[in-house]
Amino acid sequence: MRTVYVLNGPNLSRLGTREPDVYGAETFADLAALCRQTGRELGLSVEVRQTDDEAELVGWLHEAADGKIPVVLNPAAFTHYSYALRDAIAQRTAPLVEVHISNPAAREEFRHTSVVAAVATGTIAGFGLASYVLALRAVADLA
């Protein structure tokens, strides 16, 4: 069974309480369960991680690149300014799909720019937690 990392950046552990009008009422535990269940349906072993630490996220991306492990990544706020994250993604050796629960293009102007999109395989945004399901399906097709 192919392993896939689902990596999540800052504040995603706060799902369910952080701006539910934007991010929904589901919790991070709900997200993790959905990703693992979707993975099982697709024949993937899904490992879900979350961090508020940019260096830790970069380390996980290096680990994925070294292991040729596909990634579904919600970089959260790092999307808009983390060139360290962008450089780590550029080293990928397997598909990497950028995901967002909300649609950044429909929100504040500072959210319109993704510094990581150009080095990702693709981006899925605006479908709530279903963005992760769609990303896992894409990874399953690509991996």
Indicate the annotated binding residues for substrate: 74, 80, 87, 101-102, 111
Catalytic residue among 5, 62, 100, 112: 100
Residues 56, 105: Cα–Cα separation, whole Å? 27
Is 5 noted as a catalytic residue in this protein?
no
- In the DSSP assignment, the letter for residue 4 is E
Catalytic residue among 5, 23, 62, 81: 23
**Residues placed in the known binding site:** 74, 80, 87, 101-102, 111
| Tokens matching residue 16 | 């369910």
Is 23 noted as a catalytic residue in this protein?
yes
Between helices 130-142 and 28-42, what is the axis angle to 10°? 30
**Hey, which residues are catalytic here?**
23, 100
